[in-house]
Structure 1
Amino acid sequence: MAERVVPEPLRRRRKPTKQGTVLSERVIVETALRLVGQHGAEALTVRRLGAALGADPSALYRYFRNTDDLLLAIADELIGRAQHGWQPTGDWRTDLCELGLRVHASYQAHPQAALLAAHRTTGRDNEMRAVEMILGVLRSAGFRDPEAVRIYHAFVDQALAFAALDAAALAMPAPAQAADLKVWQVRYGGLDAGTHPHIAATVRLLAAEMPLSGYPFALELLLDAVAARLPGAGAGAGAGAGAGAEAG
């Protein structure tokens, strides 16, 4: 696409396309999400989008500067879907846990798009709203700004890294997914306890655990670490330890 996007107030087109669709940024993004889900990254072209929408490909220039601009809109849409219906409880840990799981689930619902978009910074409304919410949770919990920013960074990067990793697994063809599972069941399951005693002792657990996402447990571990860094979090433990030492 060329960089000739038309500002929102100047988009006068209300005539339906050949398929009866009235073009809008949302309609284009939803169509792009569907096409990427069906055909992968190669579907993200002006020609294929135009055909799917029943519109001249040049019409998309009124909404997006280029395909990268459209990709950022797709990423922002996934972030927005993660926020839909979320309400803060006032408990920082509960709120961060739900937000993390929501972001991860939103990307897993569209694994092909997640592969393209999980690493992007959109600078769009939904992303800015998410940044504001997460920082608000952390600052309200009592973290000072430098610490809140570092925790925000770790929290978001963990969620998006797992989103991309798990999306890659989901996007694999079914035979490849089955082959990966078989490695744990057969290859690892057949290892001799004399040479690999720890694997042999846990192989059934490994075969059950490894096909699952590690994100929920990793998120709990991160939140445990965050809780330990709350201002005053160690005061109680320190006082108890001192009292015990004196009593001994």
Structure 2
Amino acid sequence: MAKQMVSDSPRRRRRPTKQGVVLSEQAIIETALRLLRHHGSAGLSARRLGAALGADPSTLYRYFRGIDDLTLAIADELIGRSFHGWEPTGDWWRDLYALGIRSHAAYLDHPQAAVLSASRVSGRASEQAAVDTILGILREAGFPDGTAVRLYRAFVDQMLAFAALDGAELALPDDVRESDRELWRSSYTQLPAETHPNIAATAGLLVELSDRSAYPDALELFLDGARALLQRLDAARRPEGA
């Protein structure tokens, strides 16, 4: 049975652990992110966390119900980092583009954590604030509520899908990742125009783009589509002859 959860202040250790860490939810999350970076999801365990923190592994359960609860906290942490330093401009297209790029980057700063948590719903404060902010941007832009919700889901799911995809690539061993990229150069640039005319005509561009994420392009296309939709909605709302 999971141990009873208590608020962060009462459960904080009065003295540092052997590693000099004063335990808190945040300290455990930061340590978990380091473990994920070095060991992947298989390395995230109460035993490893305890060793890294210099505390008994059972101490984890004073702060989280278990590793899955910690995973949700990690997801919420990455969402929160996406908004650090962000300020709205009042231009909905620019604001959503900036949030998408910042969110994608926050996940890719911790690719193993991105793979682990991108598909989860945390239900925590940062996620709730993000949902409310994005919906607010869309509603203030003039999208009806039903459309705003659909666009919110598409916007977030697109970013998370690319975060998981790009995170999985970054989490590969360096030699495997480089081998995959080398195939674009060694294989696709050698295909003859007689059999693969379109690849032959664009091989240089394919190689160039293989070294970066397609997310910025996909995000721009999505937002341009949303802008075209808004223009159609505005036109339909205008009185005839206006």
Amino acid at match of 1:90: G
TM-score by length of 1: 0.92
| 2:3 equivalent in structure 1 | 4
Amino acid at match of 1:191: L
Query: Which runs of structure 2 are paired with 1:166-245 in the superposition (5 Å)?
Result: 166-230=166-230, 235=235
1:89 aligns with 2:92: no
How many residue pairs match? The answer is 237
Cα root mean square deviation, aligned: 1.7
Structure 1 residue 35, shift from structure 2 partner: 0.7
CA distance in 1, matches of 2:145, 2:231: 12
* Structure 1 residues without counterparts, runs of 5 or longer: 237-241, 243-248
| 1:78 equivalent in structure 2 | 78
Determine if contact 1:104/1:162 at 8 Å carries over to the other structure.
yes
CA distance in 2, matches of 1:174, 1:5: 42
CA distance in 1, matches of 2:78, 2:117: 9
| Bigger Rg, structure 1 or 2 | 1
CA distance in 2, matches of 1:186, 1:38: 31
| 2:14 equivalent in structure 1 | 14
Structure 1 residue 137, shift from structure 2 partner: 0.2
CA distance in 2, matches of 1:3, 1:110: 28
Determine if contact 1:142/1:230 at 8 Å carries over to the other structure.
yes
* Structure 2 residues without counterparts, runs of 5 or longer: none
| 1:246 equivalent in structure 2 | none
SS in 1 for 2:230: coil
CA distance in 2, matches of 1:210, 1:136: 35
SS in 2 for 1:229: helix
Residue identity over aligned pairs, in percent, reads: 59
Determine if contact 1:143/1:231 at 8 Å carries over to the other structure.
no
TM-score by length of 2: 0.94
| 1:114 equivalent in structure 2 | 114
CA distance in 2, matches of 1:210, 1:5: 49
| 2:100 equivalent in structure 1 | 100
Structure 1 residue 53, shift from structure 2 partner: 0.1
